[in-house]
A and B are shown apart, each in its own frame.
Chain A
Amino acid sequence: MEPIQPFQSRIVPLPIENIDTDQIIPARYLKVTDKSSLGEGLFVDWRRDPAFALNNEAYSGAEVLLAGHNFGCGSSREHAPWALKAYGFRAILSTYFADIFRNNALKNGLLPLVITPETQAYLLEAVATDPQATIYVDLAEQTITLPNGEQVTFQIDAFSKTCLLEGIDELGYLMKFRPEVETYEAQRQYAVSTLQGDMP
């Protein structure tokens, strides 16, 4: 994965709470066996409404999505962050993220950044007044610089931060624990095997 650099971006506002992954990418787009084609399915049913934020020219090219509380709830489909990334988003701002979505996003270099309700309200107002307003996201410093120059901080666990900044691959990291896994398997008191009984 590419290491994440600081970046400046405009913002698309989508202030609806509990946006679920079925809206982000509907199930009919899940029949693919790759990731690359998913951008066209992003919010596809909502995009049929001409007034939908992603259809608003003023926000086109923005790489940050400003969403309502509990973004990404519902299905565990990693197709949701794949679609957001394929469309061009680099970060989502919300007051709260659903667990599996947050995990999936981090594994794909898409930043799920938790902001306070005050920052959210301020940003909504700022982009409504000036769609060209930008923020600056600095992962190393864990800061977002707002359009008025003010800085707010965000939390991220140390491990994910290191992986994102250094482009560390988690699977490679896990593979290094093979000796510990072997010891664990040798000592565990209770083991399952699907091979007992007749399997196909």
Chain B
Amino acid sequence: MSTPKTLFEKIWDAHVVAHPANSPAILYIDLHLIHEVTSPQAFTELNGRGLKVRRPDQTVATMDHSTPTTPPNADGIIPISDGMAAAQLQRLVQNCRQHGIPVFELGSAHQGIVHVIGPELGLTQPGMTIVCGDSHTSTHGAFGALAFGIGTSEVGHVLATQTLLQNKPKTFEIRVDGQLANGVTAKDIILAVIAKIGVGGGTGHVVEYTGSAIRSLNMEGRMTICNMSIEAGARAGMIAPDDTTFDYVIGRQHAPKGAAWEKALAYWRSLPTDDGAAYDQQIILNANDLEPMITYGTNPGMGMKITERVPDPAHISDSSQKAALDKALNYMALQPGQPLLGQKVDVVFVGSCTNSRISDLRLAAELIKGRRVADGVRMLVVPGSQQIKAQAEAEGLHNIFLEAGAEWRVAGCSMCIAMNGDQLQPGQYAVSTSNRNFEGRQGAGGRTFLASPLTAVASAVQGCVTDPRTLLNVDQPVEIR
């Protein structure tokens, strides 16, 4: 019998084109996604050397990071007021036209955040290697693909050769067993994982999420989990494909059809980790112990249960850790030992490649229906793609948000990265469903609390950080611990 292998090892082994002595492996890339921000210098490199894109048919481009999310004007055009952003978007179109790469431009029915449209179009499939010049490429691992972010030099490598030089990462099993309580979601699982292992805890590893709590998630929840693997420093996050995966993929525009589907399915069923395969590291969490999570600091590892209190730097012995927490609390203008429940918020953002899919919007709409965004709070809802926007509008979700007093936007990264003008003002507090609370991430001087869509909506409605369980479960008040 052959040695048992993990999901990661099976995909890795199937993609090694060559492995010369004293060199990293040369890994074949099935799908390359590109966007406006991290690709221009790579195309400049190719053009400078007179090289062609090797597989334009395995490459797809979209616009997302710096695109406005304001509605189209009377002519159906979305105006771009920022000249540099406009030039960068124009450059992407030129580069793609020159090299024959399909590109979803602003206004296209398929435009959207790169990690949202890949799965949505059926481009993302189990067993693939997928890269993009963007760290949240880990999202696609939810399908049982090996998907990871690369730098711009590597974007150039993949464009020219369809391969990458890669040292084999180690494997890390994160097992989450048990059942999530009402009001606790996939976002809370991953925030709890990062709070536990830290923002560097996964460095050098590919994480595979296993266990009954993971298996019971739908594909969108699984994407939320894999999306934030990079926030624990992991190279990639993966979840073994199963019927939930196949049911999601089947029938999508670029999914295999007919005999090709049957062949693909047989292959995909062989991918899950074999019994007895070993991981280099492992941790186990119990989903029953989880509660809604929120971050208090300036990296995604600075998170806690929403009912807990902000930690005290005085209790930390390591000087560099203490300095980081001091700096974070100073930036956030929070006191050691204070609760976050009741902390006033100015802005609520529901969106980003972490939580902007249709099930996120449905959940948010369900909770906000019949309620109103509190006075003085600005709430933005930004669907991850134009397809999601259309779907949400077909279901009437946009009207629920608009009636509640929230803004309903067109697709893009928006206030996740604040490159397009959607941003916090200095000193403002936001509850955000995105993935990064770094200093200035959502606008210079802005202060971000990361949380689930449910927590975001509950906080918008009350005007302060709020445990969503108090709205779901009105007769059970939540105590601060």
- Chain A residues within CB distance 8 Å of chain B: 15-18, 20, 22-23, 26-28, 30-35, 45, 68-70, 73-79, 96, 98-100, 103-104, 107-108, 157-159, 162, 170-171, 173-175, 177-178, 180-181, 184-185, 188-200
Contact = CB atoms under 8 A, between A and B. Distances in A.
A34 B44 CA distance: 8
A52 B103 CA distance: 42
Contacts of A191: 30
14 contacts: A15-B319, A18-B301, A23-B440, A45-B444, A74-B299, A76-B133, A76-B134, A77-B37, A100-B135, A104-B151, A175-B161, A181-B163, A192-B254, A193-B57
Interface in B99-156: 102-105, 108, 110, 123, 125, 127-128, 133-135, 149-154, 156
Nearest to B439: A23
Interface string B31-73: 1000001101100110001010010011110000110000000
B119 to A, nearest CB: 13
Contacts of B254: 192, 194, 196-197
Nearest to B325: A17
B91 interface: yes
A69 B200 contact: yes
Interface string B427-465: 000000000101111001000000000000000000000
Contact of A197 (B204, B253, B263, B299): B253
B150 A76 contact: yes
Nearest to A22: B438
Nearest to B104: A200
Given A22-B441, A189-B267, A100 B31 contact: no
Interface stretch (B15-23, B215-223, B368-376, B385-393): B15-23
A66 B323 CA distance: 15
Given A17-B321, A194-B254, A195-B57, A177 B153 contact: no
Contact of A199 (B51, B102, B233, B436): B102
Nearest to B18: A180
B153 A194 contact: no
Interchain residue pairs A-B with the least CB separation, the first 5: A199-B102, A70-B200, A104-B151, A78-B151, A33-B40
B199 interface: yes
Given A103-B154, A104-B151, A68 B323 contact: yes
Interface string B330-360: 0000000000000000000000000000000
Contacts of B133: 76, 78
A65 B211 CA distance: 42
Contact of B102 (A33, A75, A181, A194): A194
Contact of B419 (A27, A34, A74, A193): A27
B320 interface: yes
A180 B19 CA distance: 11
Contacts of B88: 31-33
A16 B41 contact: no
A20 B157 contact: no
B82 interface: yes
B267 A190 contact: yes
Given A74-B438, A96-B200, A18 B26 contact: no
Contacts of B299: 18, 20, 73-74
Nearest to B444: A45
Contact of B17 (A69, A78, A177): A177
Given A96-B200, A194-B57, 14 more contacts: A16-B323, A26-B440, A27-B418, A30-B37, A32-B88, A45-B440, A76-B134, A98-B200, A178-B161, A189-B267, A190-B264, A192-B128, A194-B102, A198-B253
Contacts of B110: 200
Contacts of B157: 170-171, 174
Interface in B399-421: 417-419
Contacts of B91: 33
Contacts of B417: 27
Nearest to A94: B320
A192 B60 CA distance: 12
A184 B26 CA distance: 11
A171 B45 contact: yes
Contacts of A193: 57-58
Given A17-B320, A34-B44, A192 B161 contact: no
A162 B21 CA distance: 13
Contacts of A173: 23, 165
A66 B165 CA distance: 28
Given A98-B200, A170-B157, A189-B267, A31 B324 contact: no
B167 interface: yes
Contact of A96 (B66, B203, B419): B203
